A and B are shown apart, each in its own frame.
Chain A
Amino acid sequence: MKKPNCPSGTGDDADRAEAKARWHPYLVGIGIGVLSWFAFGLVNQPLGITTSLSAASSVCALPIMGSDGVAQNAYWAKTPFQWDGGMLFLVGTFLGSLLSVLVSRTFRWEKVPATWAQQFGGSAPKRLLAAFLGGIIIMYGARMAGGCTSGHGISGSLQLALSSWTFFLTMFGSGILTALILFRKRAGASSSLSDLALFDRKSGVLDHRNTLAKNKNRLYAI
């Protein structure tokens, strides 16, 4: 399905190419586990993301609050912005993903992912705004909990920390409830859109022919 006027990446071609480049999830899990050995045994810093990310947010607050305002904040005084191991790890994560996506030639601009489009349609502003709101909530939650999927979910859980298993289970429960509400079956709206990912098991390709015409304006007019 080549659609020259479809730069948004709702196209399933992009998703299929990405899926082909994937390694087996158990192998990836083993890889992250082994990486944790080095994180603990070599550099003495568990894998984590959000401590550095919240320190980075202080830089964004500088223009508004001024350097004195930021310095006086009790939280940023505790975790100031610095190019420490955590911050460099964050940069490395970005670079690693970039490297991987370039090597596998799966880079694509994506505004509205397929699963979102099936439920909410192809409006890019709607999706970009939802992601923005989600970002605010996830970060506030991560800081209140003291970690994220990396710091608590993997690094904390593997140390059998009570806090981290509490985080892991609560986060999954809350996410499942949210998904139930957000992706509930909607009368009418979903009937035409759910055909979109009709899966032809014999040929292993997605069959869009019936629904493409109907939904093309909705999904690709972004």
Chain B
Amino acid sequence: MNFPVSAETARWLAIPMGIAFGVLLHRGGVANYNVIVNQFRFKDFTVLKVMFTAIIVGGIGVLLLKTTGHAQYHIKPANMLGVSLGAALFGVGMVLYGYCPGTGVAAIATGSLHALTGFVGMLLGGVLYALSFAWVEAHIQKVAALGKVRLPDITGVPDWGWFVILAAIAAVVFWLIETKFKPAESAAVSTGSGN
């Protein structure tokens, strides 16, 4: 597969792309502890709005690129036990930390000192995973390992069908949020002008 730029150029392009990502995370308000934690308390829907919009806009574009031969997929294997356990831990960690790994890095740059201690924790978490990797690989990642499966593969609903469904869900959810949802008083600082 041929890409418009060489691998070496692509490597350096990662810097401006990272910068754009960092700017978007900060200006999206998701480098703010209150915004992230209050999403899980249903007091602020900024995270859902940003992520769901990114998935639909990104997904339709990438689908077009893929079908016209300008991109390839990078599917992570569906090791269902590992993904489920990992995601469950991730949810606990995300609420306790108040950031996810990317927004944590962005938050350090905004002056969040607890994002920094959490970053040190993340490095330690990486070490702990590496140390337990052999055991996890043998006992957890092989359970219910379905391979690099996509939703269209297992449902028979084509890609376009999925994006129509997702867009419809997003339209309803966003409409409900914008019309019915009133920011809770205690979340006032985190919503601010965020919606």
Contacts and interface: CB of A to CB of B under 8 A. Distances in A.
Contacts of A121: none
Given A91-B15, A134-B121, A135-B117, A9 B98 contact: no
Nearest to B123: A57
B127 interface: yes
Contacts of B12: 88
A6 interface: no
A42 to B, nearest CB: 6
Interface residues of A, number: 135
B26 A100 contact: yes
B185 A174 contact: no
Interface residues of B, number: 136
Contacts, number: 556
Dominant SS at the B interface?
A: helix
Interface in B85-144: 85-98, 100-115, 117-131, 133-134, 136-137, 140
Given A40-B65, A74-B137, A131-B98, A23 B27 contact: yes
B176 interface: no
Contacts of A182: 95-96
Given A28-B50, A92-B17, A137 B192 contact: no
A192 interface: no
Nearest to B113: A111
Contact of A22 (B124, B130, B193): B193
Interface of A: 9, 12, 15-16, 18-23, 25-26, 28-47, 49-50, 53-54, 56-58, 60-61, 73-76, 83-86, 88-101, 104, 106-116, 118, 127-168, 170-179, 182-183, 194, 197-199, 206
